[in-house]
Amino acid sequence: MGAGVQQSADSGRRRGRRRRRGQPMSEINVTPFVDVMLVLLIIFMVAAPLLTVGVPVDLPKTAAGALSSDNEEPLTVTLTAEGGVQIQTTEVARDALVPKLRAIATERTSDKVFLRADGSIPYAQVMQVMGALNAGGFSNVGLVTDTGGPTLDQSKE
């Protein structure tokens, strides 16, 4: 972004006593700016998918749409295929789940919680964790699934 000196076409010739000096160039060179912006764009495009925090779970597929989200980061409880329970990314023992949820509920303004359960988990275990969520002070439970699954009439959306 420096200013250069632009030589006029007839600067080599002399006209009388007056000699023309180079005129300052008033154009901004935007090429380095564009190069830096493109590199930053590529870095953010590569880094954005890596910023999602989660536990790898094979979610069941449904035709349901996404829920609207609040300003507060949603609380996520995950049931893994091995039967473990995690709050966000922290492993929690099943007997310590309700006291831990009560402590979290006192600090939060929203009673919304998202439950992610592996598709291989029996329904009874999912319902036990939902009961623990309710006992822990979270009455607004959203079940997380992958989209694009079959509807009741077996058609894909």
Question: How does the average pLDDT of the chain come out, rounded?
Answer: 78
Q: pTM of the entire structure?
A: 0.53
pLDDT digits (tens, 9 = 90+) for 41-82: 999 998 887 776 666 767 777 766 665 655 667 788 999 888
Residue ranges in the chain modelled with pLDDT below 70: 1-20, 52-55, 57, 63-72, 154-157
Residue 74 and residue 138: Cα distance in Å, rounded?
Answer: 12
Angle between helices 123-135 and 97-107 (to 10 degrees): 50
Domain ranges (residues) in the chain: 75-144
Show the 3-state SS of 56-99: CCCCCEECCCCCCCCCCCCEEEEECCCCCEEECCEEECHHHHHH
- State how far the Cα of 55 lies from the Cα of 63, in Å rounded to an integer: 22
Question: Does the structural domain 75-144 have CATH classification 3.30.420.270?
Answer: yes
